[in-house]
Amino acid sequence: MTISDASLFLLAIVAAAIISAGLTAAIRPLLLKHALANPNARSSHRIPTPQGAGIAVIAATLVVAAAIMAGNDGSRVHVPIAVFGATLFIAIVGFADDLKSIPVVARLLLQAVAVGAIVFAASDDVRIVPACPLWLERSLILLAGLWFVNLVNFMDGLDWMTVAEIVPVTSALVVLGSLSEFSLSPAIMAAALCGAMIGFAPFNRPVAKIFLGDVGSLPIGLLLGWCLMELASHQHLAAALLLPLYYLADASVTLLRRMIRREPFWAAHRSHFYQRATDNGFSVWRVVSEVFVLNVVLAGLAIASTRTASLAVETVLLLVGGAAVTFSMYRFSQPRTS
């Protein structure tokens, strides 16, 4: 790690945190008037709460990342125009959905446009499985990216839940960028997103004063998905799976369970393991604390997986991470005993 890289990451984190916190405080009064999330039977909150802080988080992330990338040596970092454009587009879609619900099919198509813009604009060097035909790999990544964007949105249903996920994951990506395990551009973006979430965190601590809204959760999923795609393309697939493993497992298992039960899986619900935990006697603080600790463990396993050339070791680390996630989900699904 060079001193210049460390300075870039630190600058991105601090600047994005300050801008995010300032913008969140500035727009909250306006959102109180025009973007209230009223509680219902499927909500985790009990009083009307403004949503839309994602405007501040995404603005801080993109402004800081763009400024640092543009001001850096062009031979070391480039500004991924498709990523910035797609992020703005999906943020607009999310904000429109926050104000007035968009039909499911139309929403998915718009999200697919944003994900596809990033996936198909990537250079031919971005390969995860080189033996797979490029068109097939990109198509599969498009589907995976679309699911990832939505699962981040689905999992954003509890105060500090997204903070407990995104801060450890992006911090690990910054460490991996510092170790030159993947490109500098996504590492800078991860640092900016980490800082922006830290700036948002005081406003979202239980009991939250404001929510991200779809204007935040959708582009956060898109940006994080891009970073993980870049990490996987540097032959660190195990790390790219380990970092978001709790979100992947909770959302995917929940979706499969609802499909097997022939429930309307596209509709809002309270079936996620973290939601069942609060119904089973876990406090919000307890749930998000355990998720945060779990993600720190997964981040450590992910970083360790990039430091070995052994497929067997990577497999063991994936199994350990899977066991930790399974144990947490099992605990959340059981009534808490005194």
pLDDT confidence of residue 61: 98
The Cβ of residue 6 has, within 10 Å, a number of other Cβ atoms equal to 12
Summarize pLDDT for 229-281 with one digit per residue, the tens.
Answer: 999 999 999 999 999 999 999 999 999 998 888 887 777 778 899 999 999 99
191 CB neighbour count, 10 Å cutoff: 29
Count other C-beta atoms under 10 Å from residue 216's C-beta: 30
74: its two tokens: 């062009």
Residue 98, in any domain of the structure: yes
Residue 197 lies in a domain: yes
Domain membership of residue 39 (yes or no) is yes
In a domain, 128, yes or no: yes
Q: Tokens 């008037």 — which residue?
A: 33
- Among residues 102, 20, 3, which one has the least CA distance to residue 61? 20
Per-residue confidence of the chain (338 residues) as pLDDT tens digits? 444 788 899 999 999 999 999 999 999 999 988 777 776 656 555 678 899 999 999 999 999 999 999 887 665 677 799 999 999 999 999 999 998 889 999 999 999 999 999 999 998 888 999 999 999 999 999 999 999 999 999 999 899 999 999 999 999 999 999 999 989 999 999 999 999 999 999 999 998 999 999 999 999 999 999 999 999 999 999 999 999 999 999 999 999 998 888 887 777 778 899 999 999 999 999 999 999 999 999 999 999 999 998 999 999 999 999 999 999 999 999 987 75
**Within-domain flag for 52:** yes
Report whether 45 contacts 39 (CB < 8 A). Answer: yes
Is residue 215 one of the residues assigned to a domain? Answer: yes
Q: Who contacts 67 (Cβ-Cβ below 8 Å, separation ≥6)?
A: none
Q: Residue 338 domain-assigned?
A: no
Closest to 328 measured CA to CA, from 299, 304, 292: 292
* Closest listed residue to residue 186, CA positions, set 9, 337, 6, 305: 9
- Domains of the chain: total: 1
* Position 257, amino acid: R
**Phi, psi for residue 77 in degrees, rounded to 5:** -145, 145
Alpha helices in 35-103 (DSSP H): 54-70, 81-99
Cα 172–177–183 angle (5° rounding)? 130
The answer as to whether 257 is a domain residue is: yes
Domain region containing 213: 3-333
